[in-house]
């Protein structure tokens, strides 16, 4: 793309299928040898890609000067680096609530059989327990998302 040459994509791995589909959608590949419109399209994209307000050298100089001027750059650290992979993907929260969503009905059935409740009491128990779990899940997810967004705001 940067050099303005049409791309012949042969996808092998996970993300490559999507990249090739995007290239085809923008008419940047496929029948490259027979059709000159692909070359024209990629040249337009290359020109847009190269259009920058500063050169890479100027950008590097800016960041070196920035680091020298501001000694403490701890606010640029991403808090996600210290999280485990399952915390970053919220799998700990989903796993906990999946466990609860499985355990509560099992416990409700056990309690229903032990106490000889009528069916109305059983469903009342489920109607109370499941929304409470759902509300707790939403609160935890919102808190996690706000925590992530707050860290992104601090980085900027």
Same domain, 86 and 150: yes
pTM score: 0.33
What does the block give as tokens for 114? 């032990």
Same domain, 83 and 150: yes
Same domain, 42 and 83: no
Tell whether 11 is covered by a domain. Answer: yes
Same domain, 109 and 48: no
Tell whether 65 is covered by a domain. Answer: no
Same domain, 151 and 102: yes
Residues 151, 147: Cα–Cα separation, whole Å = 6
> In this predicted model, what pLDDT tens digit does every residue of 3-15 receive, in sequence order?
666 667 777 777 7
Same domain, 35 and 88: no
Same domain, 81 and 151: yes
| Nearest residue to 97 via CA among 136, 139, 143 | 136
How many separate domains does the chain show? 2
Q: Which residues have a Cβ under 8 Å from the Cβ of 75 and sit 6 or more positions away?
A: 154, 155
Tell whether 46 is covered by a domain. Answer: yes
Same domain, 48 and 89: no
Same domain, 83 and 140: yes
Please give, one letter per residue, the 3-state secondary structure of the chain.
CCCCCCCCCCCCCHHHHHHHHHHHHCCCCCCCCCCCHHHHHHHHHHHHHHCCCCCHHHHHHHHHHHHHHCCCCHHHCCHHHHCCHHHHCCHHHHHHHHHHHHHHHHHHHHHHHHHCCCHHHHHHHHHHHHHHHHHHHHHHHHHHHHHHHHHHHHHC
Tell whether 61 is covered by a domain. Answer: no
Tell whether 39 is covered by a domain. Answer: yes
> In this predicted model, what pLDDT tens digit does every residue of 30-81 receive, in sequence order?
666 667 787 788 888 888 888 888 888 999 999 899 888 988 887 778 777 7
Residue ranges making up the domain that contains 38: 1-55
Same domain, 111 and 142: yes
Same domain, 99 and 147: yes
Tell whether 71 is covered by a domain. Answer: no
Does residue 86 surpass a pLDDT of 70? yes
């Amino acid at each position: 793309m940067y050099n303005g040459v049409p791309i012949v994509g042969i996808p092998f791995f996970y993300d490559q299928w999507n990249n090739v589909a995007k290239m085809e959608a923008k008419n940047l590949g496929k029948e490259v040898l027979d059709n000159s419109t692909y070359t024209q399209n990629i040249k337009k994209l290359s020109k847009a890609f190269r259009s920058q307000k500063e050169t890479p050298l100027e950008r590097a100089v800016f960041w070196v000067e920035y680091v020298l001027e501001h000694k403490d750059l701890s606010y640029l650290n991403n808090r996600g680096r210290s999280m485990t992979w399952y915390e970053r993907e919220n799998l700990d929260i989903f796993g906990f609530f999946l466990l609860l969503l499985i355990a509560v009905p099992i416990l409700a059935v056990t309690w229903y059989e032990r106490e000889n409740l009528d069916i109305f009491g059983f469903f009342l128990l489920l109607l109370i327990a499941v929304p409470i779990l759902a509300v707790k899940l939403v609160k935890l997810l919102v808190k996690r998302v706000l925590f992530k967004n707050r860290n992104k705001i601090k980085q900027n």
